[in-house]
Structure 1
Amino acid sequence: MFSTFFKKLYRQTIDIVFGVILALIIIGIAIGAGQLVFSVWDLLKLEGVTGQYINIITDVLTLYVLIELSRSITDYFISHKLKISLIIDAAIVFIIREILIALFKHKIDPSMLYALSAFLFVLGALRTAAIILYQREKVIADESHD
């Protein structure tokens, strides 16, 4: 009974914490989307082709990372598990964001590009392994029900 109480308290506390995090991410996405709409007006200043585009690209990619993170937290409420594949997806998007921004600004040295590429490769391999493991567990679960 005592152990059950703490397990229930733990689950409720985690649910509240993840709920607050999700609410803050949603607010951040809404504010970011609103600011993105207003930043489109800066494109009309005719500062050259790349004038404000880097800021818009950065903002869009940042919003995409936030959306990926919110997706993993939303999935937690369904399964009460944090799926590593969704977290890896957010990390992949973040690394791609960093590479694109650095390449667009022409401010990345080859060693950093190699390091980020290697990290991206490792994340991709982890993501692929997570898919294979999930499929294998699914097949085993299906076979045990037969």
Structure 2
Amino acid sequence: MVQGFVSKIYKQFIRLAFNITIIVLIIGLFVGIFRTISELGLTFTEATVRLGFKELVTNVLSLIVVLELIRAFIDFFEHERFRVDILLEVLIAFVIREFMLHLFEGKLSGMDVFFWSFGIVSLIGARAVSFFYRAPKA
């Protein structure tokens, strides 16, 4: 009896926490979209086009990661659990973002590119495997 009551309170608290998180992520997404659009002019006004373009790519890639996070949280509400394939997609988006940022900064050597690419391909392989071992829909 007490366990059921505590469990119900816990579930309500988790739902509230996830709702607040989704709202914060959506607000962050709108702020990111607004800043990306407003900074589009930097592509033309920066000392070099490369600096402005780097900022634009950074902002767009960050927005993609935030979109994937929102999708993961919304998927949690639909299925009442986190799905590994969705979390792997978020991780893949984040790793590709970081790879692109390092690539634009010119910090990568040939072996670094190989290892980053190997890591990305490994994550994509894990995503493919998770697709085949997905739990059946209820």
- Scaled by the length of structure 2, the TM-score of the pair is 0.89
Separation in 2, partners of 1:112, 1:5: 53
Q: Percent identity?
A: 24
1:124 shift after superposition: 1.4
Q: Which residue pairs with 1:69 in the alignment?
A: 69
1:126 shift after superposition: 1.6
Question: Amino acid of the residue matched to residue 108 of structure 1?
Answer: L
* Deviation digits for residues 4-30 of structure 1 (CA, Å, limit 9, x no counterpart): 112211111111111111111111111
Please tell me whether Structure 1 or Structure 2 has the larger radius of gyration of its CA atoms.
1
* Deviation digits for residues 85-116 of structure 1 (CA, Å, limit 9, x no counterpart): 11110100111111112112211234443433
Q: Which runs of 5+ in 1 are unaligned?
A: none
1:51 shift after superposition: 2.9
CA RMSD in angstroms comes to: 1.9
Secondary structure, counterpart of 2:49 in structure 1: coil
- Scaled by the length of structure 1, the TM-score of the pair is 0.85
Separation in 2, partners of 1:102, 1:115: 13
1:43 shift after superposition: 2.1
Q: Does 1:24 align with 2:24?
A: yes
Q: Which residue pairs with 2:10 in the alignment?
A: 10
Question: Amino acid of the residue matched to residue 106 of structure 1?
Answer: G
Q: Which residue pairs with 2:129 in the alignment?
A: 129
Q: Structure 1 residues 69, 46: CA separation in 2 closer, same or farther (over 3 Å shift)?
A: closer
Secondary structure, counterpart of 1:6 in structure 2: helix
1:120 shift after superposition: 1.8
| Contact 2:44/2:52 (<8 A) preserved | no
Q: Structure 1 residues 5, 111: CA separation in 2 closer, same or farther (over 3 Å shift)?
A: farther
Query: Which moved further from structure 2: 88-97 or 113-122?
Result: 113-122
Q: Structure 1 residues 9, 110: CA separation in 2 closer, same or farther (over 3 Å shift)?
A: farther
Aligned length: 138
What are the within-5 Å matches in structure 2 for residues 80-99 of structure 1?
Answer: 80-99=80-99
